Structure 1
């Protein structure tokens, strides 16, 4: 859940009767799962661990979510919504200028890694992309969950290719794909270099160089 969504939820709760101030069981389960899935992986977290962290029981869990996969699907979609909110806010000041939008997006990544807590895009600075992490864990035959991740990554690719076309790149699809490789790879260098000291700190400069090489 994004910071803005959380703030809105708190605002609504403050106006509700006292008996409703405690978060709903379903919300507690979802929030606990999001934290545990991100820290320990989807496979590494069982239903018992989730209900214990949420302060509830399995009966309440299965009343809220028919299966663990249903909870995982909601977790992934929550992360996706938060990411697009972060993306849209990063590029909004430069509407109509595709190059500036890409540069702003890459700079937003640099700004993001400087934070230690969970950001508005749903990512913690030490663990990379939640949906990218999930892609490694989801079994090949789980079409439902794999489709969520695939569609999300396909949309990133589509947006970056569109920016490349709008800025007049010679080979816009190639530039869009190169920018995606830069963006995706940058997240994961955060896992192997302490204190955000790795190559991701140069992502904005690298993006400008890529764009320059495809222009003209």
Structure 2
């Protein structure tokens, strides 16, 4: 008996195509027509699911954010309240991502570079994701009772951003270790 695999809904097919193309080639470089062609649909169908291309960009970033948050959330859960272990597991996860094939930088940093207007819907998704990281780091270091918690959190977010860029521009094999050691140094300072 042959198993029949259901075709994903059109919205998901459009989002899957956009995810591949946006990450590989850039948000502004990929047209809605290119995504429509890749999926093999019509403009009417595309615009039924996404009012504008920017709406698709927002959906792409929200999907990426969800996946990242799930992975990081699992690492924090595994750490069971141990800040050192949580930061080490996060560093390990980020190192695995930036060392993976086809890594082209952080999709959120890339989006911010392509959408400089802080009021655009795309930048609002980027800002929400950065605030999520700040909140995450606040929760991780809260048990340490640091009086300078806000400064430590800002430094950890900055270090994370640097690791995401270094994985693309530098030696990705060294990123996880540098991120882990850097995080520890910030906390110990």
Give the TM interval when normalised to the shorter protein.
Answer: 0.7 to 0.9
The alignment's C-alpha RMSD in Å is 2.1
Question: TM-score if structure 2 supplies the norm length?
Answer: 0.87
Question: CA contact under 8 A between 2:91 and 2:177: conserved in structure 1?
Answer: no
The answer to whether the Cα contact below 8 Å between 1:164 and 1:172 also exists between their aligned partners in 2 is yes
Equivalent pairs counted in the alignment come to 187
Q: 1:202 to 1:160 in 2, by over 3 A?
A: same
Partner of 1:146: 123
Q: Name the TM-score, length of structure 1 as normaliser.
A: 0.77
Moved more, 102-111 or 146-155: 102-111
Partner of 1:90: 75
Query: Which of residues 139, 157, 162 is equivalent to 1:185?
Result: 162
Distance of aligned partners of 1:104 and 1:200 in 2 relative to their CA distance in 1, 3 Å threshold: closer
* SS in structure 1 of the partner of residue 169 of structure 2: coil
- Cα distance in 2 between the residues matched to 1:25 and 1:155: 30
Of 163, 184, 187, 1:208 maps to: 184
Counterparts of 1:99-138 in structure 2, within 5 Å, are 99-116=84-101, 126-138=103-115
Unaligned runs of 5+ in 2: none
Unaligned regions of 5+ residues in structure 1, if any? 1-13, 117-123
Distance in 2, Cα, partners of 1:76 & 1:47: 16
State the 1:59 CA deviation. 2.1
